[in-house]
Chain A
Amino acid sequence: MKFERYGIGIAKGLTVTIRHLLRHPTVNQYPEQRLNISRRFRGNELIWNREKCTGCGTCAKTCPQGAIEIVTATDMAENKYIVDKYEIDTGYCIQCGLCVEACPYEALYFSHNFECARYRRGELVQGKEEMLETPQRKVSGYFYPDKAQKLPGQTLLVEKITEKR
């Protein structure tokens, strides 16, 4: 550049900032304005399908955090395991998704929910009943592309044209 260091650099910088003053800001205002999160979102809770689960315990073995606790009993008559206790401590869970990928019977999913803050640590433990799918607790499409199709598409910042240039 021939015109380096004649104050041109500073002037150019000033035009860039003043132009931003006239553009739309990129931010959105969270509680009122909500964006759709990813279809594969790994929510802060796990969803468990009681019918499909066989109590094999693969998920608990795979979990790197040891956040899953399963206690099973044998049902001799039906020749299968009964899941007595299935607990996930979401306070320890790092939402890595390995358990969902590992489950051989497609019984474990992520939830599509992200506002799961609690006031006490103990409340973070999800028991059997809190893990079932409900209308509030939607299943996320992580690792299950067919479930992903049912969810609304993600809002992308690349598609939000806020800048006119």
Chain B
Amino acid sequence: MAVRTEPFVLNMGPVHPSTHGVFRMRVTLDGEVVVDIEPVFGYLHRGIEKLAEQRTYAGIIPLTDRLDYISSMNNNFAYCLAVEKLAGIKVPERAEYIRVIISELQRIAALLIAVGAFLNDCGAFFTPFLYMFRERERIVDLFEMVSGQRLTYNYLRAGGVSQDLPEEFLPALRKFMDMMPRFMDEYDRLLQQNEILIARAKGVGILPAEQAINCSISGPVLRASGVKWDIRKDDPYSIYDRFDFDVPTQPAGDCYDRYRQRVEEMRQSLRIIEQAMKQIPSGPVRAEVPHLIHPPVGEAYGRIECPKGELGFYLVSDNSIAPYRCHIRPPSLINLTALRDMVRGWKVADLIIIFGSIDITVGEIDR
């Protein structure tokens, strides 16, 4: 007698402990094995692209904070790059350095959350997550000092940054930089070689390099598959060509590699900040830009390497005070396209960690 099982549909989300927001998946299961999944988006849709068409160029910056709320500074950065390209604004030297320091700090903070949430999905009951939040707290403290806010910073402006760094910032950053490598070693001691984590994550959810390129995956997920592609190196924006840093890659493209990749990238970010702190000049931090920018008719695409991948803003101007069209290329959404192929045939528990290792923010997917 052949044993036959009925596949059944499990509705994961939108309210579920580990869907990282209000993301929903319809999962078809055969016992514990995932046969098929169908992501359902749109629970956090706020119409940011459309709203942007009615706002002034400066008024869009607070909106970009709310895209990927874990890495607001990077979103500001990408948007400001697009506006500067569109309006031909030259950014002062000191502002460029501030931007680099701030956005690398933000990268560390966002990657800490990504790694912490991934390990939490693996079942390490909140311990790595809380340790990493502790370090993120230190970064957020610094951001509060410069911008006055802890989550939606709204700090960068077209043509620079809103205000100069306060004088206590650089000494505090120095202290942070001295502490951070020790903390990162501690995280590695906590779980890097843990046998259970290796059993859970090694070889799980492999994304081949070829498929990653075909799906236009970017960021740590792509680099963990062994593709050396980092916009900071390959299409340098701002002043990234002045810094000496490596683009780490991992060989296999499984969940464990994506986790290691993020940790390696944090170390590289620390290197960049170290150099930027040494080189930072004094001077103005904001170019003379009118409050209401009227860029000439045209279009521009500004992109940066944000913690999740390539974040791009495509702006079309019709010479009015608001963009005619604003399109956002969210890395989370595009990285998610490979999810189905990665999880098929794995178990429910693997679905969660594969999904966690992609590291999405729903605010960015639904926009």
**Chain A interface (Cβ within 8 Å of chain B)?**
1, 4-5, 7-10, 12-13, 15-17, 20, 26, 37-42, 58, 62-64, 94-98, 101-102, 110, 140, 142-143, 145, 148, 153-154, 156-159, 165
Contacts and interface: CB of A to CB of B under 8 A. Distances in A.
B166 A16 contact: no
A1 B144 contact: no
B193 A5 contact: yes
A154 B144 contact: yes
B193 A154 contact: no
Interface string B124-147: 000100010010011001101111
B143 to A, nearest CB: 9
B166 to A, nearest CB: 7
A42 B148 contact: yes
Contact of B141 (A1, A4, A7, A154): A154
A1 B194 CA distance: 13
A165 B145 CA distance: 27
Given A94-B152, A159-B175, A165-B182, A143 B163 contact: yes
The A interface is mostly helix, strand or loop, or mixed, namely loop
B2 interface: no
Given A9-B194, A10-B194, 4 more contacts: A12-B189, A64-B56, A98-B62, A158-B141
5 contacts: A12-B194, A41-B148, A101-B162, A143-B162, A154-B141
Interface in B139-174: 141-142, 144-149, 152, 154, 162-164, 166, 168, 172
Given A40-B166, A62-B59, A5 B191 contact: no
Interface string B185-196: 010011111111
B196 A10 contact: yes
A154 B134 CA distance: 17
A97 B138 contact: no
Interface of B: 55-56, 58-63, 127, 131, 134, 137-138, 141-142, 144-149, 152, 154, 162-164, 166, 168, 172, 175-176, 179, 182, 186, 189-198, 291
A158 B186 CA distance: 17
Contacts of A102: 291
Nearest to A104: B291
B145 A38 contact: yes
B148 A142 contact: yes
B149 A157 contact: no
Contact of A16 (B142, B144, B190): B190
Contact of B154 (A16, A96, A145, A156): A96
A6 to B, nearest CB: 9
Given A40-B148, A143-B162, A159 B172 contact: yes
Given A96-B154, A159-B175, A64 B193 contact: no
Contacts of B192: 9
A131 B251 CA distance: 59
A81 B192 CA distance: 66
Given A1-B193, A16-B190, A157 B141 contact: yes
A140 B182 contact: no
A97 B141 contact: no
B62 A9 contact: no
Which 8 A-B residue pairings sit nearest by Cβ, starting from the closest? A64-B59, A9-B193, A40-B148, A96-B62, A9-B194, A42-B148, A38-B144, A158-B175
A42 B162 contact: no
A40 B148 CA distance: 5
B62 A26 contact: no
A4 B194 CA distance: 9
Contacts of B191: 9, 13
B87 to A, nearest CB: 17
Contacts of A62: 56, 58-59, 291
A17 B55 CA distance: 49
A9 B190 CA distance: 8
B58 A40 contact: no
Contacts of B179: 158
Contacts of A95: 149, 152
Nearest to A148: B166
B336 to A, nearest CB: 28
A52 B367 CA distance: 40
Nearest to A40: B148
